[in-house]
Amino acid sequence: MISDKKLFLSLSILLCIPLTIAFFASDRFRYPCQDPKNWDTEVCQKPRCEVTRTCPDQIFKSKKPVENVNATCTTCQPAEGAKNAK
């Protein structure tokens, strides 16, 4: 019986620890420029943020669609050893 009480107490503590951390945790950012509130501050303006590469446009690289993927490149050269895919 005593071992069951210890097991229950141990499990309840292990369950309460992550819940407490999640409840009391605040938003934290690795870089100050990740926080949208700081985007207008001097720290997040170029050229100061370019030195550490923490500018918002460098942190959040947009995934723009690539256009003309199949376009013919007049200045491109095939890599050495590359086989013709045709």
Do the Cβ atoms of 39 and 17 come closer than 8 Å? no
List the domain boundaries for the chain.
Answer: 2-59
For residue 67, give the DSSP letter.
Answer: P
AA identity, residue 58: Q
Nearest to 59 by CA among 44, 41, 47, 37: 44
AA identity, residue 76: C
Q: What is the pLDDT along the chain (86 residues), one digit of tens a residue?
A: 568 888 999 999 999 988 888 887 777 788 888 888 988 999 888 888 888 888 888 887 755 444 544 555 555 566 565 555 44
pTM beyond 0.85: no
